[in-house]
Homo-oligomer: A and B are copies of this chain.
Amino acid sequence: MSLKGFKFSVVEAAIKKPGRKDLALVFSETPATAAAVFTTNAVKAAPVLLSAGRIAGGKAQALVVNSGNANACTGAQGMADACEISGLLAEGLGIAEELVQVSSTGVIGVPLPMERFKNALPSLIASCGSATLDDLAAAIMTTDTFPKTSVRVGSSGGVGYTVVGTAKGAGMIMPNMATMLSFVMTDAAVAPELIHTVFRQAVDRSFNAITIDGDTSTNDTCLLMANGAAGTPLITLDTPDGDAFAELLDELLLDLARQIVKDGEGATKFVEIRVTGAVSDADAKRAAMAVANSSLVKTAFFGQDANWGRIFAAVGYSGAAVDPDRLALWFDDVCMAKDGIFVGGDAEVRGTEVLQRKEFVVTVDFGLGTGHTTVYTSDLSHEYVSINADYRT
């Protein structure tokens, strides 16, 4: 990784099961221009409340993140704990406390094991620079089965720069509340107004296309830091270089989001849901999310059952404007239904073949307008129930 001016470290603080790195540090040699998108859940974890207040200043230099404990529903003690950790880290790194972002993921409602944190922080700081992006990705995992990273390179004014990102899967993403964390670092110099504009958009097209706005966990966080260490000129809004940066960021977040879905708890399928011809984009998203979230649709995917009727039913209750007699549906390129009804012929056989693939696209056309969207989901398997039934044990 050629990312300049950022250093990572990871340690085992015994917050999670033994043998797992569970505490990580991201440190920028200089204060970075930063922005973050946090959960919209009314019940916010202490680190989210703390970090959201600080990021408003537009700068961050360090991130401390733990897995194994969400520090959510922990009241005043939880906030005091998050503050104490960030204070100790700022002191150890010799930076202002306001430049420290704190993030947590794991079980809700259990106070942080502060002694273990305090014991681990010195070695976390001392080893700063010793870890790779993959190490960071592994340290933030909870029920994820593989670490998620993505890297892109660009250039501005003849100077190359790198954007790296990591994310932790939100277990089974689609229903509710699974925590999604993503941290993106770039050594490009990026104007704050560009970051603010394009970062939110990129999050909407990626992470918000796999989780529902408002149906978020107590801890969801997506953080971007740009420190300029590559020596690029300042990349600004409404310029070709700004557009190129925005495109890179889009690609990188979408790559991470797709990895999260592929690692959905117990997932055996990766399904892209495309809705076209809706009255509006908002209607298209409403319908696509209803389909992507339907337990009945998702179990049919798992069972490789070309049950297109369940998809129409989900569209019907989504709240989107719909004319049942105009609906059409495809599994990949196999048209299953037109004008609201089954097309007949060998569609059943061919549709079932599509559903036997590991990845496929479901397209629903409303035949009403130009509204469209794409969202990503997985199937619902036995394994999902197993994982979540005994998550805490």
Chain A interface residues toward B at CB < 8 A:
40-44, 70, 72-75, 77-78, 107-111, 172, 175-178, 214-218, 290, 293-296, 299-300, 302-303, 305, 307-310, 312-317, 319-322, 324-325, 327, 337, 339-342, 380-382, 384-386, 388-393
Contact B385 A302 (CB under 8 A): yes
Provide the residues of chain B in CB contact with A342, threshold 8 Å: 73-74, 109-111
From residue A15, how far is it (CB to closest CB) to chain B in Å?
Answer: 16
Contact A390 B305 (CB under 8 A): yes
Contact B340 A309 (CB under 8 A): no
Contact A388 B312 (CB under 8 A): no
Contact B392 A305 (CB under 8 A): yes
Contact A389 B73 (CB under 8 A): no
The docked-state distance in angstroms from the alpha carbon of A380 to that of B381 is: 12
Can you list 27 residue pairs at the A/B interface with Cβ under 8 Å? A40-B317, A42-B317, A43-B313, A43-B322, A43-B340, A44-B324, A75-B339, A75-B340, A172-B295, A175-B294, A176-B314, A177-B294, A177-B296, A177-B310, A177-B314, A178-B296, A218-B312, A295-B295, A299-B384, A302-B385, A303-B393, A305-B391, A305-B392, A305-B393, A307-B392, A381-B385, A384-B385
Given contacts A43-B313, A110-B342, contact A73 B324 (CB under 8 A): yes
Given contacts A215-B317, A313-B41, A316-B43, contact A75 B325 (CB under 8 A): yes
The docked-state distance in angstroms from the alpha carbon of A41 to that of B322 is: 10
Given contacts A177-B294, A381-B385, contact A391 B339 (CB under 8 A): no
Provide the residues of chain B in CB contact with A303, threshold 8 Å: 388-391, 393
Contact B339 A108 (CB under 8 A): no
